[in-house]
Amino acid sequence: MIRLTDLHKSFGNQKVLRGVNLEIPDTSIFVIVGSSGAGKSCLLKHIIGLMSPDSGRIWVDSVEVTSLGRHSLNRLRNKFGMLFQGGALFDSMSVYDNVAFPLREKTSWSEIDIQDKVHQRLSQVGLAGIDTRFPSELSGGMRKRAALARSLVSDPDIVLFDEPTTGLDPIRVNAIHKLIQELHDSIGFTAVIVSHEIPEVFSLATHIAMLHQGSIVETGSPSIMRSSSNPIVQQFFNGRTEGPIDTD
């Protein structure tokens, strides 16, 4: 579904991506882990075309993203849903209008059809009956679920999750992970998740990749990553302060 080849990106003198090579299979739950500042969110923005690499190539469903013009790129983005780190709900809009927003912007659906789809997605994330409430009236977990409903309302082929459980307690982290798993199983999208939640992501992921200093140092199934002999992987997964990862 997604392939990155020798991807490089710098901001001034700061090299963020240093030759990233990655293949993300269709319908997988692919989790990208790594230390803060490793370039994980930057990588997601390249996949969806919000950033362009300095060099390297990106393919999505056999289409080379890095060669597309603006209009073709916008059409390709219709394949995507994205759950931003903070949810990115519009404070001035009700929950219903937030979730309906992508359909109103990208489709010519009637309001009746939009209403049916919005209510379906809200029900799937456990938020039926809160249409008129505003983001400020929701708990952190409810805001995440409302943002998840919005990211899925247009039936995307690919959903990008940028730290979907940031700021949530362990119970709600597991609840969001379980919800993502259930929706993935029922809808069948390809999920790409940036996360710090170790070891919780092991029960969610079909594949895990570790990004360190702008490069993928290892990738594999959760069991392969758990048993990795790579000292960078082991230090990160075990939360040790001593090792090759700089903790300053």
Reply yes or no on whether the pLDDT at 76 is more than 80.
Answer: yes
- For 245, residues 6+ apart whose C-beta sits below 8 A from its C-beta are 35, 212, 232, 235, 236
Average pLDDT (153-164) is 91
Tokens of 58: 């990106």
pLDDT, residue 247, reads 64
pLDDT, residue 202, reads 86
Reply yes or no on whether the pLDDT at 3 is more than 90.
Answer: yes
Reference 167, options 147, 190, 151; nearest CA is: 147
pLDDT, residue 248, reads 58
pLDDT, residue 2, reads 94
Q: Are 219 and 189 in contact (CB under 8 A)?
A: no
The pLDDT tens digits for 186-231 are: 889 999 999 877 888 888 999 999 999 899 999 999 999 988 999 9
The mean of the pLDDT values for the chain is 89
Sort 191 into a burial class: Cβ within 10 Å, 0-12 / 13-18 / 19+.
buried
Place of tokens 């996360």: 195
Reply yes or no on whether the pLDDT at 104 is more than 90.
Answer: yes
Q: Are 114 and 57 in contact (CB under 8 A)?
A: no
Residues above pLDDT 90, as percent of the chain: 50
Reply yes or no on whether the pLDDT at 53 is more than 90.
Answer: yes
Domain residue spans in the chain? 25-55+77-238
CA dist., res. 182 & res. 135, Å (int): 24
How many C-beta atoms lie closer than 10 Å to residue 184's C-beta? 19
pLDDT, residue 134, reads 94
- For 132, residues 6+ apart whose C-beta sits below 8 A from its C-beta are 94, 95, 96
CA dist., res. 82 & res. 151, Å (int): 5
The pLDDT tens digits for 7-46 are: 999 999 999 999 999 999 999 999 999 887 778 889 999 9
CA dist., res. 160 & res. 162, Å (int): 6
Average pLDDT (55-69) is 89
Which of these CATH numbers, 3.20.20.60, 3.40.430.10, 3.40.50.10540, 3.40.50.300, describes 25-55+77-238?
3.40.50.300
Which segments within 80-233 are labelled E, that is strand?
80-83, 158-162, 190-194, 207-212, 215-220
Average pLDDT (39-55) is 90
Confidence of residue 246 (pLDDT cuts 50, 70, 90): confident
Angle of CA points 233, 236, 242, to nearest 5° = 105
